[in-house]
Amino acid sequence: MIPYMLVIAAVVLIDQLSKYIIQNDISLYQVEIIPGFFDITYARNTGMAWSLLSGQQVFLCLVSAAAIIGMMWYLTVRKPKPLISFSLALMIGGAAGNLIDRLIFGYVRDFLNFYIFGYDFPIFNIADAALCIGVFLLLIDTFFEEKREYGNSNS
């Protein structure tokens, strides 16, 4: 259980530190890193992904807190296998990083701006990346678990 708490703490620390650095250095508000592919672009997001539910901070804080509590319960009580535990730790850390922003600032600080095949992907942060990676790993685990169960039922 302890290693997963370290993953959560690392995600929150890296997320908050990166946001602090970007927010407090105006020269980093708009920086082209890889032309046509990646920029640092500081933005304040009052919503969630793609600015959905903009301005609904109380609702988003409640949903985030409930999700964190639910995932922490599952991680500590159910003690899932390692990949699921790691996925949940990434998701908890990501949700916590953005919840901290919402509670302190009333918005989430975003700064990673990618252009994928000409599409200006929505600006995001380390917490968002951790959440997405956690969800992706959970989906992969679910996919392979279903394949194993299907294979065993046909034997």
- What pLDDT digit, counting tens, does each position of 122-147 carry? 999 999 999 999 999 999 999 988 77
Residue-level pLDDT at 147: 72
Q: 128, 11 in Cβ contact below 8 A?
A: no
Query: Rounded CA gap, 87 and 139, in Å?
Result: 10
The residues assigned a catalytic role are 110, 128
Query: Rounded CA gap, 80 and 50, in Å?
Result: 31
Residue-level pLDDT at 55: 80
The whole-angstrom distance between residue 154's C-alpha and the CA centroid of its chain comes to: 38
Query: What's this model's pTM, rounded to 2 decimal places?
Result: 0.91
How far is the CA of 59 from the CAs of 56, 105, 155, in angstroms? 6, 15, 48
Query: Rounded CA gap, 21 and 39, in Å?
Result: 15
Residues of the chain with pLDDT under 70: 1-2, 150-155
Burial letters for 81-92: b for 16+ Cβ neighbours within 10 Å, e otherwise?
eeebbbbbbbbb
